[in-house]
Chains A and B, each alone.
Chain A
Amino acid sequence: MIAAATHKIEVSLKSEYGDAESLSTASLLKASGAPSVVRVRRSRLYEIRGNFTVTHINRLSRDLLCDQIIEDFRIVSQMPSSQGPFWKIEVRLKPTVLDPEADTIKNAMIEMGFPAPDFVRVASVYKIESKCGKPQIEAAAAKCLLNPIIHLYSVTACS
């Protein structure tokens, strides 16, 4: 019997592909009051809770969550990966707001024969290289990356 745990899987575009979304995010941040943004890397973060083995999670990431040709996935452990220094902003929908993407993943997992997950949620992660301070990054993010009415977010400094 495996204990139910929350697994976090981060999916990002391989570095050899042009990431238009990250580029436009960078220019939006610059226009929203964070002029010193050098680079933005955007990835998707899947939080899946349930009784899964590591094999399950690897297969799930490979076959469903990640497009292996252009994307890489990483199972997020407690240990932070060091690619810093950067600001990490995680944006997710409030629990009271419907998350259609998570809903679809849940259904797909059951159809693919995985055990039914207890909980699935999708978040966006932005890794921002910038000399700006936390309040400045926070204010800029609230202006262009999220809507406080439906989103929760956290800003952390990574080194």
Chain B
Amino acid sequence: MQMSGAQMVCEAIIAEGVKTVFGYPGGAIMHVYDEIYKQNGFEHILNRHEQASVHAADGYARATGEVGVAMVTSGPGFTNAVTGLATAYMDSIPMVVISGQVPLSLIGTDGFQEIDAVGISRPCTKHNFLVRTLEELPRILKEAFYIARSGRPGPVLVDVPKDITVEIGEFSYPDSVNIPSYKPTYKGNNRQIEKAVEAIKSAKKPLLYIGGGVVLSNASDLVRELAEKTQIPAVETLMARGVMGSKNPLLLGMLGMHGNYASNMAMSETDLVISFGARFDDRVTGKLSEFAKYADIIHVDIDAANIGKLVDVDYPIVGDVTKVIEKMLPLLDDVNPDRYNAWREILKRYDDLHPQSYVDSDEVIKPQWAIERIGELVGEDAIITSDVGQHQMWAAQHYPFDRPRQWINSGGLGTMGFGFPAALGAKRAHPEKTVINITGDGSILMNMQELVTAAEYKIPVINLILNNHFLGMVRQWQTFFYEKRYSETDLSFQPNFKALAEACGGIGYDVSTKEEFDAAVKDAIEQDKVCFMNVQTNRFEDVLPMVPAGGALFNMMLPQKTESKKENS
């Protein structure tokens, strides 16, 4: 069929089953937008900033497991998208970003709105393409979606020069791809899997270390089955919250810098780490030489480069977590779950000794209380996104996540401003679910223009702003490590959040008591409008436990015991 390059882009998006595209038009991508106007195979959401478009596509991808699609123009349109690409790259999120480029004849001439998009995005995409002829466009689009979702997923950029979008040629969308140099490994090596299973059977203190790869691989049910069958306790990384389910007695909690006591002690004392889809990030391991010091390590990862990158691994298994656990389960039929009773007892005592806790207050809303309360009010049904900072850690610690893809946050790159646009994407993917962005008074301002997008398209997401008038996480570090010199972290000067939301067509709530909080949440859920819920919290609350950067996991700064009713601010 004869059609223009712009039409080919649209046809490929439709053929890939994408229902929503997020983007922002501009000169170099105008022909594609002209075709978007004419088609009705997918909807387009006009964000008010390209960074938000990419985060929204990212949120869509995280909520569904499908490839998210964003579209931007050349030059500044593309550079605005870079933070979004990097965010998705660090968390291995399948995404295709299509960017306009100046015409081929102008490339390299410093043309208006020209920038070397493939050059800039090379280190923050899984792969990228600059389309050089119309003939290769259908193949490139097909490969882009394939590369984005296969193997270890990631964002792919397709940079399309303007003249190629105008040119007319034959279009037939390929059914399959053939990239001889790209063959991801899905099946784990049988011999290695058998050896790993033997190690599990002979271990005394094994520990499941569950990472975001389990979510990406949709392997949560299998991980739960494996844990259930063997009765091996589990810790989750930030990216894996929801995999085990908050009510699962085998789940110790989140580990790492702000992990709970039992989780970090378990990792410090285990004799066998069973890692599924985790990458031993520095925020998880703390001081490497002290990390899981007494343990052998089984590392299952689809990305061979993750294995042995930071810690020496005894049982490396390159493969898809799903495929590997499917093979492990029958081999574990004869495992005796009582074998680990003593170990679970020890961990139980650790948890009783220092449970995840905070000191509540009657005078002021504590951020942890707000998160727990949201959990009680909307619980399992909601999708929770977050920005980056204290509120993110409190959400990860205190929200009762019960299923994968319920928790959407920027873990690897730590991008402030991620939560609101990601919530838009998640809500568009799951309109029936309550979507709440747990955010702070710092982060929310980094993409607050999305109020307009949300209002225009009637995407009713709730922004729960835990307002401590501080850039809280940096303030916490200043308190601990910089002798309370609060350099540029005091956010006492603030917009009127309620009025700001209203000015953009949303709803605002000012909340400073628990009663107001409940009332506002109930009202916000019933409304079909986006809202800012400005919750005044105490200013000097710290995220605890905390392992100082570079410290050993077992050296935690712990919260006050809950029995003593004193404020810890």
A joins B in a complex: no
List residues of A whose CB falls within 8 A of some B CB: none
